Chain A
Amino acid sequence: MSAKIFIPIDSTALSLGANEVAEAISKEAITRKIDIQIVRNSSRGLFWLETLVEVETPKGRIGFGPVNVKDVKSLFEADFIKGGSHSLALGLVKDIDWLKKQERLTFARMGINEPTNIDQYIEHDGFQGLKNALNLKSEAIVATVTDSGLRGRGGAAFPTGIKWKTVLDTKASQKYIVCNADEGDSGTYSDRMIMEGDPYVLIEGMIIAGLAVGASQGYIYLRSEYPHALKTLNEAIQIATKAGYLGNDILKSGKIFHLEVRRAAGAYICGEETSLLESLEGKRGLVRFKPPLPAIEGLFGKPTVVNNVISLATIPIILSKGAKYYQDFGMGRSRGTLPIQLAGNLKRTGLIEKAFGVTLRELLYDFGGGSLSGKPIKAVQVGGPLGAYLPESQFDTPLDYEKFSEIWAVLGHGGIVAFDDTVNMAKMARYAFEFCAVESCGKCTPCRIGSTRGAEVIDHIMKGQDVNKHVALIRDLSDTMLNGSLCALGGMTPYPVLSALNHFPKDFGVDAKESKA
């Protein structure tokens, strides 16, 4: 039998040359007349080890990484196919500490399967949640999701079950399930990993959502920056339809669910749910006033569930193992697990799925291994471009929605970007305003005008002109944006700005006492 070699097809692995590595291994095997089978699996999310090449042995899958094309010859010389010793050898992949210390529920299959192989998905507990859901009444599915304590993983942390209940209770001839896959936060890639690596778990979650609220049509609103995810999702939808999981008669139950991917077009604001709905309807992505809530009047005016990729991809395990199983992970009111994404200046970056409660320090140093540059970590931004910058003194905060709000920070979509001490925080505050100006939909004045004025005022501060006066102006402007903006873009831009100012006043040329005024 030919030896099985696993080489990830995830786009981060590809960005580091996984295709070239696969080609080199294939060529070298032919030259040496060794019979191999290359499997293109999803990534484990241990991105600092990509390209992570795994070989199947009687003891389990043994890893080698990070592999570059230049390492391929020596890997063969070391007989890596039989697990031979090599400087890049990592031992059994499942025993790698970084992976072993995680609690992978939503990401249970990540790195193991071929993304669109539906038989492998089924072999690894796929569609169990759907099968259970088909035997339940809508109310019971919604109750299971409510009891699990799952809160929206896109960033707003709204209880998923309550949102579903509203849609279920609203009578309408047509309802929709919309998956928000417009993952635009810097430092985040968990949605992308699911869509590229385990697309059926998202599809299954959306079908269950449809059964729960009585919706027969689903849309995945996918950002245009993810071409690989688009291809994988479309292929998976086609296969799932053929296999009877989607369409007019789901697993011969008589239930209907159709699913379609729609491409976004590079507007960050369309990650905001009402702007997303406008965009899906073919319009400019202008934020809508609420009420009415999308759960009551959403897409094309019909009741609509809008959930993030991770929320929906977590539904199958909740329905398959029960609400209590999921609820037992976590702390306080933050139940279950959070896919945390380490990014920026860290030695060991990647996907860490952990129960809520892990501290930033554990993530940055135990998992992350400190900064890649070797310099001290000065600040981390948690929760994307609208998240606060946290200084070292706050690194012992546990990841929990409420604990983060106590220190005026957000968990958001779970992205963590680390900066070393070369960063200038006034510049990052300026960037926050600049980003808001680029991405503002323009509907409300605080965001549209405030963002541009904010960048201008910080320019004065950075030039040392009337610093105290301009700092006071920034605080006043931030207050207007926080309280007067229509949505989170303008309303949360003050988080990175003021946290940078409060924690790193020296970078703005003010002393700590004045800035806290």
Chain B
Amino acid sequence: MEKAVNNSVLSPEDLKIVHHCIADYQGMPGALLPLLHAIQDNIGYVPELVFPLISKALSLSVAEVHGVVTFYHHFRTQKPGRHILQICRAESCQAMGSDAIEAYIKKKLDLDFHETTPDGEITLEPIYCLGNCACSPSVMIDEEVFGRVDSQKIDQLIASLKGAA
């Protein structure tokens, strides 16, 4: 099955936001991470197209910006789906059956990690610990954590995402 891939150019609105972010963070000591966060928070990803803009503003090489963006798991250079579903893969969740949950979600959505559903609705990501280990297994949808999930709860959560579209 074909997965959704988005290589679109940056919209003028998004580009404007990026310029605003750069102006906001340019003078800060150690500005690169806060700036990348600001861009991703606002437009959902850090497209490679903006690396030259960042490098110029912070007096870094494009290679340095590329190196930082790709070092950190949190940053993505592709536009994600409208919702991001992260499955915790760490030990506590494994002790409570997260392997089965992971397999269930992958099958249900017909997705592997780092892929997006063809309707652009959900991007699937692994995550290593949400700090919710007292109530494993856990998943995170956008910025909300759900504990003690089972297949039934997953069905409900995914249905609510699709319903909200």
B91 at the interface (CB under 8 A from A): yes
Question: CA A461 – CA B68 in complex, angstroms?
Answer: 36
A504 at the interface (CB under 8 A from B): no
Question: CA A199 – CA B138 in complex, angstroms?
Answer: 24
Which residue of the partner chain B has the closest CB to A389? B91
Which residue of the partner chain B has the closest CB to A385? B91
Cross-interface CB contact of A184 among B37, B94, B95, B129, cutoff 8 Å:
B129
Q: Is the CB of A187 within 8 A of B132?
A: no
A337 at the interface (CB under 8 A from B): no
Stretch of A72-80, A108-116, A201-209, A277-285 with 4 or more beta carbons under 8 angstroms from chain B: A277-285
Q: Which residues of B contact A186 (CB under 8 A)?
A: 90-93, 128-129, 133
Q: Is the CB of A418 within 8 A of B95?
A: yes
The smallest C-beta distance from A215 to any residue of chain B, in angstroms, reads 15
Q: Is the CB of B94 within 8 A of A342?
A: no
Stretch of B1-9, B103-111, B114-122, B139-147 with 4 or more beta carbons under 8 angstroms from chain A: B139-147
Q: Is the CB of A345 within 8 A of B96?
A: yes
Q: Is the CB of B133 within 8 A of A262?
A: no
Q: Is the CB of B32 within 8 A of A265?
A: no
Q: Which residues of A contact B75 (CB under 8 A)?
A: 265
Question: CA A15 – CA B137 in complex, angstroms?
Answer: 11
Q: Is the CB of A419 within 8 A of B95?
A: yes
The smallest C-beta distance from B93 to any residue of chain A, in angstroms, reads 8
Return the CB mask of B135-159 against A: 1 if under 8 Å, else 0: 1101010011111100000000000
Return the CB mask of A329-348 against B: 1 if under 8 Å, else 0: 00000000000011111000
The smallest C-beta distance from B139 to any residue of chain A, in angstroms, reads 9
Cross-interface CB contact of A187 among B127, B133, B148, cutoff 8 Å:
B133
Q: Is the CB of A431 within 8 A of B67?
A: no
Cross-interface CB contact of B132 among A189, A267, A300, A420, cutoff 8 Å:
A189
Cross-interface CB contact of A349 among B30, B33, B93, B135, cutoff 8 Å:
B135
Q: Give chain A interface residues in 175-211, CB to chain B under 8 Å.
A: 183-189, 191-192
The smallest C-beta distance from A423 to any residue of chain B, in angstroms, reads 7
Q: Which residues of A contact B135 (CB under 8 A)?
A: 12, 15-16, 47, 50, 349
Which residue of the partner chain B has the closest CB to A439? B128
Q: Is the CB of B72 within 8 A of A285?
A: yes
A395 at the interface (CB under 8 A from B): no
Quick one: given A15-B138, A187-B92, A282-B68, are A262 and B131 in contact (CB under 8 Å)? Answer: no
Q: Give chain B interface residues in 1-58, CB to chain A under 8 Å.
A: 29-34, 36-37, 58
Question: CA A345 – CA B143 in complex, angstroms?
Answer: 25
A263 at the interface (CB under 8 A from B): yes
A438 at the interface (CB under 8 A from B): yes
Question: CA A264 – CA B32 in complex, angstroms?
Answer: 11
Q: Give chain A interface residues in 341-365, CB to chain B under 8 Å.
A: 341-345, 349-351
Which residue of the partner chain A has the closest CB to B33? A282
Q: Which residues of A contact B30 (CB under 8 A)?
A: 262, 280-282, 300
Question: CA A381 – CA B72 in complex, angstroms?
Answer: 26
The smallest C-beta distance from A498 to any residue of chain B, in angstroms, reads 16
Q: Is the CB of B134 within 8 A of A189?
A: yes
Residue tally, chain B, CB below 8 Å to A: 42
Which residue of the partner chain B has the closest CB to A384? B91
Q: Give chain A interface residues in 252-303, CB to chain B under 8 Å.
A: 262-268, 279-285, 300
Q: Give chain A interface residues in 414-462, CB to chain B under 8 Å.
A: 415, 417-420, 423, 428, 431, 435, 438-439, 441
Q: Is the CB of B33 within 8 A of A15?
A: no
Which residue of the partner chain A has the closest CB to B129? A186
Which residue of the partner chain B has the closest CB to A15? B147
Q: Which residues of A contact B73 (CB under 8 A)?
A: 265-267
Q: A interface, by DSSP: helix, strand, loop or mixed? A: mixed
Interface residues on A, range: 35 or more
B101 at the interface (CB under 8 A from A): no
Q: Is the CB of A16 within 8 A of B95?
A: no
A225 at the interface (CB under 8 A from B): yes
Q: Is the CB of A12 within 8 A of B37?
A: no
Which residue of the partner chain A has the closest CB to B32? A282
Q: Is the CB of B91 within 8 A of A263?
A: no
Question: CA A418 – CA B92 in complex, angstroms?
Answer: 8
Question: CA A385 – CA B134 in complex, angstroms?
Answer: 16
Quick one: given A282-B31, A344-B95, A428-B91, are A266 and B146 in contact (CB under 8 Å)? Answer: no
Q: Is the CB of A188 within 8 A of B133?
A: yes
The smallest C-beta distance from A174 to any residue of chain B, in angstroms, reads 10
Return the CB mask of A143-174 against B: 1 if under 8 Å, else 0: 00000000000000000000000000000000
Question: CA A183 – CA B34 in complex, angstroms?
Answer: 19
Q: Is the CB of B72 within 8 A of A341?
A: no
Q: Is the CB of B74 within 8 A of A224?
A: yes
Quick one: given A14-B145, A345-B96, A385-B91, are A265 and B134 in contact (CB under 8 Å)? Answer: no
Cross-interface CB contact of A344 among B29, B131, B136, B148, cutoff 8 Å:
B136
Cross-interface CB contact of B92 among A12, A265, A344, cutoff 8 Å:
A344
Q: Give chain B interface residues in 62-115, CB to chain A under 8 Å.
A: 64, 67-68, 71-75, 90-96
Q: Which residues of B contact A341 (CB under 8 A)?
A: 133-134
Return the CB mask of A488-516 against B: 1 if under 8 Å, else 0: 00000000000000000000000000000
Q: Which residues of B contact A285 (CB under 8 A)?
A: 71-72
Of B36, B71, B136, B145, chain A has the most CB atoms within 10 Å of the CB of B71
B124 at the interface (CB under 8 A from A): no
A374 at the interface (CB under 8 A from B): no
16 contacts between A and B (CB under 8 A): A12-B132, A15-B138, A263-B37, A264-B74, A265-B75, A280-B30, A283-B64, A284-B71, A285-B71, A285-B72, A343-B95, A349-B133, A385-B90, A417-B133, A419-B95, A423-B95
Q: Which residues of B contact A (CB under 8 A)?
A: 29-34, 36-37, 58, 64, 67-68, 71-75, 90-96, 127-136, 138, 140, 143-148
Q: Beyond A225-B127, A279-B33, A417-B133: 19 further Cβ-contacts under 8 Å?
A: A12-B147, A15-B146, A15-B148, A48-B134, A185-B129, A187-B90, A189-B132, A224-B74, A262-B33, A263-B34, A265-B72, A282-B32, A282-B33, A283-B68, A284-B71, A344-B96, A428-B91, A431-B91, A439-B128
